[in-house]
């Protein structure tokens, strides 16, 4: 049986870290999922002047202080990218890019804003020829052809893994760096336009060409919330929440840039604190109902 956490926090920006600190103080068993390099937006910030108590701080220095705070509190970061979160009634099941599964009584989504729109046909064929995890679904494409759209060099490892299974792998890099891939992988420098098919996706349409394939893997830095959590109510690119950071799914909370503007570090940290307190109240009430 999987270890059950009180709260799974997805995201290591200011919102997720703030929630983790507050929940640690409240003695909750937490699973903090994300990257120890934290948010790219923090790392690239030249100077931040509106973070209360820390004037004229660089993004790198602020990130260093965040990590020091986590270490002092004994909060660990599990470096996993979550690709799906399923509400199972009394708990949530989380699936990762490395095919790991986690369970938690509640979830906080703090993944940052996702402004990228899905390709036409992407959502229609999700689970029917379109996937967000090559490692998870590679066995389904043994001896078949696959196309991978990679949004960062990190995804090249997924292409290499797929090449061990599939008969042919085409890789479409969405970044400037030249991919470092095995000779058998066909690198295509083109721009995806849409995904087409009948009962399942079987064609990737690019600006200059079309590729017929058995499967299309879209490997972004993050999955959009609506695709991450089935049934989640959205407001455009943002998750719809109330002032308690509650979503429309019981036990699922959200905070930070993903719930709307302004995109400010201090606003995100405050919302992380609110989400943590709301989760604490939710878990305490849940415990009372069981007793």
Asked if 279 and 7 count as a contact pair (C-beta separation under 8 A), the reply is: yes
Average pLDDT over residues 32-52: 81
With a pLDDT cut of 70, the percent of the chain lying above it is: 97
- pLDDT digit string, tens, across residues 122-133: 989 988 899 887
Q: What's the pLDDT score for residue 4?
A: 95
Domains in the chain and their CATH numbers? 4-114+222-290 (3.50.50.60), 130-219 (3.50.50.60)
Helix axes 14-25, 265-290, angle to 10 degrees: 40
Average pLDDT over residues 218-246: 89
Q: Based on the number of CB atoms within 10 Å of its own CB, is 115 exposed (0-12), middle (13-18) or buried (19 or more)?
A: exposed
Bond before 262 cis per omega within 30 degrees: yes
Question: What does the block give as tokens for 14?
Answer: 């200011």
**Average pLDDT taken over every residue of the chain:** 91
Neighbouring CB atoms inside 10 A of 78's CB total 16
Rg of the chain taking only CA atoms, in angstroms: 20
- In our burial notation (b when 16+ CB lie closer than 10 A, e otherwise), range 26-38 reads bebebbbbbeeeb
Measured at the CA of 159, the angle between CA 156 and CA 165, to 5 degrees, comes to 155
Q: What's the pLDDT score for residue 49?
A: 82
Neighbouring CB atoms inside 10 A of 126's CB total 17
pLDDT interval class at 115 (50, 70, 90): low
Q: How many residues does the chain have?
A: 291
pLDDT over 60 at 145, yes or no? yes
Q: Based on the number of CB atoms within 10 Å of its own CB, is 64 exposed (0-12), middle (13-18) or buried (19 or more)?
A: middle
- Among the listed residues 93, 115, 74, 132, the one whose alpha carbon sits nearest the alpha carbon of residue 5: 93
């Amino acid at each position: 049986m999987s270890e059950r956490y009180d709260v799974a926090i997805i995201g290591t920006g200011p919102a997720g870290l703030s929630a983790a600190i507050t929940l640690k103080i409240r003695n909750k068993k937490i699973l903090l999922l994300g990257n120890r390099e934290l948010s790219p937006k923090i790392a690239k910030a030249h100077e931040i002047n509106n973070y209360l108590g820390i004037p004229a701080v660089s993004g790198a220095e602020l990130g260093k202080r965040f990590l020091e705070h986590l270490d002092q509190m004994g909060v660990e970061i599990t470096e996993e990218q979550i690709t799906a979160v399923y509400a199972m009634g009394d708990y949530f099941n989380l699936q990762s890019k490395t095919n790991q599964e986690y369970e938690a009584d509640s979830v906080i989504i703090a993944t940052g804003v996702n402004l990228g729109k899905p390709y036409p046909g992407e959502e229609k064929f999700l689970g029917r020829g379109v996937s967000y995890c090559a490692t998870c679904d590679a066995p389904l494409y043994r001896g078949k052809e696959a196309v991978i759209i990679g949004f960062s060099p990190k995804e090249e490892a997924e292409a290499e893994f797929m090449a061990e299974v599939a008969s042919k792998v085409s890789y479409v890099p969405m970044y400037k760096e030249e991919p470092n891939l095995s000779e058998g992988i066909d690198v295509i420098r083109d721009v995806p336009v849409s995904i087409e098919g009948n009962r399942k996706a079987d064609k990737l349409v690019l600006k200059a060409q079309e590729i017929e394939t058995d499967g299309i893997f879209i490997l972004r830095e993050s999955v959009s919330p609506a695709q991450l959590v089935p049934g989640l109510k959205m407001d455009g690119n943002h998750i719809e929440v109330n002032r308690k950071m509650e979503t429309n799914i019981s036990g699922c909370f959200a905070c930070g840039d993903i719930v709307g503007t302004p995109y400010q570090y201090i606003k995100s940290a405050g919302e992380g604190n609110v989400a943590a307190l709301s989760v604490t109240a939710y878990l305490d009430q849940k415990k009372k109902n069981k007793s």
